[in-house]
Amino acid sequence: MVSKKEKPSQPILLFDGVCNMCNSLVMFVIKHDKKAVFKFASLQSEVGQSILKNLDLPLNDFDSFYFIDGDNYYTKSSAGLKVLKNLGGAWKFFYPLIIVPKPLRDLIYGYIAKNRYKWFGKKDECMIPSPDMKKRFL
């Protein structure tokens, strides 16, 4: 668990653990995160719920994706762009989209989030990482 006094030593991505699209995006980040910078937790997990509670964020809103870096956290489209920036390589060239006003970016994000189960499906339970990936999850 993460307390308010603890600052994560690595950026954390919180994601909807039952969403097929979200799980695919986590696998994408793991594949492209060559330096293993990111840690992961599903929003539904005990650790994810503890982090949300410590940040005074909603405990039952699984339509957002969170990027937590020290004392800072980002949601929705800002979180996604911060992840791409931190992945480096060609992915960082998407970061200038941050200049698009957040309400507009989040409108698009919200449309995708609202339809993600219909388009990509969902699991009955959160994914269980393979033994070699398990060390990347909180």
**What would the pLDDT profile of 4-33 be if each residue is shown by its tens digit?**
445 557 899 999 988 899 989 999 999 999
For residue 79, give the nearest of 69, 65, 90 by alpha carbon.
Answer: 65
Q: Is the pLDDT of residue 2 over 60?
A: no
This prediction has a pTM of: 0.84
Q: How far apart are CA 74 and CA 78, in angstroms?
A: 6
The domain spans of the chain are 12-127
Q: What is the pLDDT of residues 62-117, one digit of tens each?
A: 888 899 998 899 999 999 999 999 998 899 999 999 999 999 999 999 999 999 99
Q: Are strands 12-15 and 72-75 parallel, antiparallel or unpaired?
A: unpaired
pLDDT at 10: 87
